[in-house]
Structure 1
Amino acid sequence: MNDEQLTTIIAGELQPVTGASGDYDALLDRIGDARFVLIGEASHGTHDFYRERARLTRRLIEERGFTAVIVEADWPDAYRVNRYVLGEGDDASALDALGDFTRFPKWMWRNEDVQHFAEWLRGHNTRSGARVGFYGMDLYSMHRSMHAVIEYLEGVDPEAARRARGRYACFEPYGEDPQTYGMSAAYGIGEPCEDAAVQQFLEVSRLDPDGGSVLEEDEHFYAEQNARLALNAERYYRSMFRGRDESWNLRDTHMTDTIAALARHQEDGGRTPRFVVWAHNSHLGDARATEMGWRYGELNVGQLVRERWPRETFLLGLSTHSGDVLAADTWDAPGRRKRVRPGLPGSVEALLHAAAGERAEPNFWLDLRASGALADALHAERLQRFIGVIYRPDTERQSHYVHTRVAEEYDALLYFDETSALVPLDRTSGAEDADELPDTYPAGL
């Protein structure tokens, strides 16, 4: 089947997205009773992706009773937003609540779309009496999480806080840069701190908060997750110097374990967990249907969630052909508006662009499970573009494209032919404030 025939099949199956209130009615029907809806993005700097992801999430919360939004962000940074949307903490606005996102790239979460969603979520919780939270699942905040564990223990058990300070002192000779620790531990320079991190996690997880109120249970869970994060981050930063694939797998396993831990926490509180997860396509599209999985052995959140909850998971990928994106030239560089090149010939993006032109529908979604013809059309291996916080148009094929089988990667695909860049809340990237920088070369995923 040639590309012209494939284009016609896709054009016949696409469902337009026009901005109307009913755009996602059929998509919600397709999601059905799924409790884990993973919504991706083809870049970390595209306004249309953030806007539509929030738009669909609002409907899942209002109409399907979803109980949490979990994002590709560090746990302590996002938890400040969580306190705000639940009407707790001291922040007077969503802008204030986003104040802990200080490291590069600030714009990934400190942007107008996230600000507006956080304000909406607080209003929804206030109006409805719901407790829909906002949580991070990433693991780059090793030192900040250790400080948070100690701070929590100082309020509930000063002697336990003293023990925590003693254990975490193992990291002090390496300073605040976790990569320095990782390199030293990986090459046998100094003492690895894994045992100390394990002991601290076990002690925090065994604590039984007095009173048993919802707030006290949540604060204990927050501390337990910080202790788990410190442990997994210790392993992650050591693994960075043994190979990218191992560190990638540790990171995505941690993110999936965070989802599972939050599900157990809500179940223990008598709730039925229903989660929307926001992250990059590279994390949420099933890795088994990508070159990164079948060639390099990488797994990801989409694969692991599908394996844990096979009948309750829905994966939605997002894509674009061209437009503007907010991205950096290199790591730590300021974000700036860049022009996204049209999709390469023969790529998924080029095929969707052709279908959009044939139907004169620039924005649409595809149900990849509804039609055998459509699944066949998108089953073959094709190049797919992944832009992170770095965009390198001069080396785009090498830096941003991998082979995938889209019909296996996602359950549905949302496409915008021409997209625009995020509007950041800060003039700079925030790199000058960073104390813990992730290793996500080359595309900052």
Structure 2
Amino acid sequence: MDKIVQAIRQSAIPLTKNDGYSILLEKAAQVKHVLLGESSHGTSEFYKIRAQLSKRLIEDLGYSFIAVEGDWPACQKVNRYIKGYDQVHKNAREVLSTFHRWPTWMWANEEMIELIEWIKELNLKRPKNNQVGFYGIDVYSLWESMEEIIHYLEKINSPDIEKAKKAFACFEPFNREAQMYGVSAAFYSEDCHDEVIQLLTEIVTNKEKYTSLEESQLNLEVNALITANAENYYRTMVVNDNESWNIRDQHMVEVLNKISSFYGQESKGIIWEHNTHVGDARATDMTDAGMVNVGQIVREQLGTENVFIVGFGTHRGTVIAADAWGDDFKKIVVPSAQEESWEDFLHKAGPYDKMIIFSENTSEFNKRMGHRAIGVVYDPRYEHFGNYVPSILPQRYNAFIYVDSSNALQPLKLEKIYI
């Protein structure tokens, strides 16, 4: 394994200078999408570096929007704020304080505030047709998306309102409990599939009737898509974890494509998600289980040459996570990386922050080894048994950014609502 350490030393670009990311930005200049990962949802440096890269991609290379692993309705509030549609919230902190779905800290954190204000200031100088957007592309917001649909259709007195209310009424007995709906749909055939598909079909068929003012048409269509795909996701998740994963990631790409179409053929997008979503699944053991992800799908759709994927990792530090799903967040110590993992070798190559741009000259890295992944639930005592994804890094990413010692994210203090 000394050869890997030596190869890292020869290939690594130290991130100690202001121009450390210039080579990465040159590589990303001509692609359709840049995917920026993270190996946890609670590491401050990952958010700060992604923000730094996103600013450069937007200002220097003309990227049009940021799409994140978040709920569409909640992120629409950010989008409306940065584009001047929102006359209610005075600043980014107020907007982010409206994020209530657990885990709130993913987007309601101190690190996001500066980026959101920066985009708003940039948009003030730009015409409406050239403003940068911010969108959530995840699938979880079933009830919130249905409420958004009904609110808008009532506002414009649409003839489709009765179909929307019928679909919403179908879900009412489940009291916003996704697990309850999933069990009823999967085992007792008590589902709302026909209702949400009919609603989606009607909205897509009649979409030209809806105004494009303040992105209303896009908002309505995506909320309808979420309603259909979320119903499918919750119905599937209780019987097949792998298939529900695929439904979720396929949905995220579907929404990404709708955003991209909205901005036009020449638009370019920045995607912020966990490494497990952006890093090509075919370079991991996910493919052995029949799982796909966003990175794989966009490469297949657009061609590898039109997608640039950046993975992130750290050797040790602290992270924000929870002991169990829905629990309060806390700061957790991240121990030194497992022996002979990618993070271990990156540390042994020198205890400093670094970046590797993978190319034909980095063939020494074409080995499948453990690569740490920390979720919103994390127990470091057991991480060696489940937090390392066997990965061939040069096939999974185009580049990898390594932070030797990282720090926990700074969440805003919010009231939480369980999903």
Which TM bucket (shorter chain)? over 0.9
Cα shift readout 1:128-154 (whole Å, capped 9, x = no counterpart): 343100000001110110111111111
- Structure 1 residue 100, shift from structure 2 partner: 3.1
Give the TM-score, by structure 2 length.
Answer: 0.96
Listed one character per residue, the Cα deviations across residues 385-430 of structure 1 (whole Å, up to 9, x for unaligned) are: 100112111110123112111110000001110001101111x6x5
Distance 1:241 1:153 in 2: 32
Give me the whole-angstrom Cα distance separating, in 1, the residues matched to 2:210 and 2:222. Answer: 20
The answer on 1:51 being equivalent to 2:48 is yes
The alpha-carbon deviation at position 384 of structure 1 amounts to 0.8
Q: Secondary structure at the match of 2:376?
A: coil
1:364 maps to 2:363: no
Please name the residue that 1:337 is paired with.
Answer: 331
Provide the residue aligned with 2:407 in structure 1: 420
For 2:101 and 2:258, the matched residues in 1 are separated by 26
1:168 paired with 2:162, answer: no
Which 5+ residue runs of structure 1 have no aligned equivalent?
A: 438-445
**Cα contact 2:179–2:238 (8 A) shared by 1:** no
Instruction: Name the residue aligned to 2:81.
Output: 84
Sort the Cα spacing of 1:320 and 1:5 in 2 relative to 1 into closer, same or farther, 3 A: same
The equivalences for 1:356-435 within 5 A come to: 356-357=350-351, 362-369=352-359, 371-372=360-361, 374=362, 376-426=363-413, 430-431=415-416, 433-434=417-418
CA contact (8 A) 1:68 1:133 kept: yes
Deviations 1:255-285 (A, max 9, x none): 0111111112222xxx622100000000000
Q: More displaced, 274-283 or 29-38?
A: 29-38
TM-score using structure 1 length: 0.90
Change (3 A) 1:102 1:383: same
What are the equivalent positions in structure 2 for 1:98-117 lying under 5 Å apart? 98-117=96-115
What is the CA-CA distance between 1:210 and the residue it aligns to?
A: 5.8
User: What residue is the counterpart of 2:146 in the other structure?
Assistant: 146
CA distance in 1, matches of 2:226, 2:298: 19
Task: Give every structure 1 segment of 4 or more consecutive aligned residues whose post-TM-superposition deviation is greater than 4 Å.
Answer: 208-212
Superposition deviation, residue 208 in structure 1: 4.2
Offset at 1:181?
1.0
Distance 1:149 1:209 in 2: 16
Aligned position for 1:200? 199
Does 279-288 or 109-118 show the bigger shift?
109-118
Contact kept in structure 2, 1:151 and 1:161, CA below 8 Å: no
Q: Please tell me whether residue 304 in structure 1 is matched to residue 283 in structure 2.
A: no
Q: Does 1:66 align with 2:66?
A: no
The answer to which of 200-209 and 306-315 deviates more is 200-209
Q: Deviations over 1:40-92 (max 9, x none)?
A: 00100000000000000000000011000000001101011000011111221
Shift of 1:157: 2.9
* Alignment root-mean-square deviation, CA: 1.5
Measured after TM superposition, the shift of residue 243 of structure 1 is 1.3
Contact 2:210 2:216 (C-alpha < 8 Å) held by counterparts: no
The CA deviation string for residues 362-387 of structure 1, in whole angstroms up to 9 with x for no partner, is 11110112x42x2x222111011100
SS of alignment partner, residue 63 of structure 1: helix
Counterpart of 1:283 in structure 2 is 277
The aligned counterpart of 1:134 is 134
Aligned to 1:181: 181
**1:145-173 deviation digits (Å, cap 9, x = unpaired):** 01111111112234321331023211122
Secondary structure of 1:100's aligned partner: coil
* Cα displacement (A) at 1:346: 0.6
Rounded Cα–Cα distance in structure 1 between residues aligned with 2:408 and 2:187: 42
Task: Give the Cα–Cα distance (whole angstroms) in 2 for the partners of residues 96 and 351 of structure 1.
Answer: 42
Match 2:315 to one of 304, 318, 321:
321
- Is contact 1:290-1:409 (8 Å) kept? yes
> 2:322, 2:376 within 8 Å by CA — same for their partners in 1?
yes
Residue 30 of structure 2 corresponds to 33
Cα distance in 2, alignment partners of residues 285 and 96 from structure 1: 33
Code of the residue aligned with 1:277 in structure 2: it is: I
Contact kept? 1:287, 1:299, Cα under 8 Å: yes
Secondary structure of 1:242's counterpart equals: coil
1:187 Cα deviation after fit = 0.4
Instruction: State the identity %.
Output: 36
Query: Equivalent residue for 1:13?
Result: 11
Contact 1:125/1:131 (CA < 8 Å) preserved in 2? Answer: yes
Contact conserved, 2:73 with 2:141, CA < 8 A, in 1?
yes
State whether residues 64 and 132 of structure 2, in contact with CA within 8 Å, keep that contact through their aligned partners in structure 1.
yes
SS at match of 1:73: coil
